[in-house]
């Protein structure tokens, strides 16, 4: 377990601990149907809906089971997205997740954030394999993963059950010795 939450920094971004102060930002991301189209969550209708996700991210970190950062533009308040490991096992593997407010798509922010998170995962958390499951049709997410060096392993048929429907997911992975 880490002594304190690790902040990460890139040229344009600060990756910070998600806190109660980000409730409105989180709501703004997830009220947008474009952000939830390939996510297993319905668009938020009330700010309070964001609370359970903040609580979950914080509890995963406190329990040493996951770590998710809020993505901030340097010098600006609030977060524009989140990224990190929903689950991880030291010396073994982790499940990668990320989201970004649509106003910030196609600007390279997610690739920039994920690059430093991958480095942290492999070097500090000593993860060997990082996995990402992508809902079929989410071409933008697949492009980001390929750009980062992930390998497409195959399709997990009816892998996710959400909103009374089964979804195929494409499994991607990146190994420490390839990164």
Q: Which domains does the chain have, with CATH numbers?
A: 8-128 (3.40.630.30)
Low-confidence ranges of the chain (pLDDT < 50): none
CA 120, CA 108: separation in Å to the nearest integer? 19
CA 99, CA 53: separation in Å to the nearest integer? 13
Contact at 8 Å (CB) between 154 and 143?
Answer: no
Give pLDDT tens digits for 22-53: 999 999 999 999 999 988 888 999 999 999 99
**Residue 91, pLDDT score:** 80
CA 33, CA 38: separation in Å to the nearest integer? 9
- Which residues, 6+ apart, have CB-to-CB distance to 30 below 8 Å? 36, 39, 41, 43, 44, 49, 50, 53, 99
CA 71, CA 149: separation in Å to the nearest integer? 21
**Four-point Cα dihedral 173, 82, 69, 104, nearest 10:** 110
């Amino acid at each position: 377990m880490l002594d304190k939450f690790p902040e990460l920094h890139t040229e344009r971004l600060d990756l910070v601990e998600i806190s109660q102060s980000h409730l409105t930002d989180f709501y703004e991301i997830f009220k947008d149907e474009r952000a939830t189209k390939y996510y297993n969550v319905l668009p938020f209708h009330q700010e309070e809906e964001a609370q359970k996700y903040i609580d979950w991210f914080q509890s995963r970190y406190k329990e040493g089971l996951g770590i998710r950062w809020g993505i901030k533009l340097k010098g600006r308040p609030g977060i524009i997205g989140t990224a990190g490991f929903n689950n991880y096992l030291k010396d073994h593997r982790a499940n990668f997740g990320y989201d970004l407010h649509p106003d910030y798509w196609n600007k390279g922010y997610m690739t920039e954030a994920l690059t430093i998170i991958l480095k942290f995962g492999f070097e500090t958390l000593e993860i060997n394999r990082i996995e990402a499951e992508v809902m079929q049709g989410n071409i933008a997410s697949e492009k980001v993963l390929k750009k980062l060096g992930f390998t497409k392993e195959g399709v997990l048929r009816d892998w996710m059950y959400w909103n009374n429907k089964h979804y195929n997911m494409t499994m991607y992975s990146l190994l420490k010795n390839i990164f």
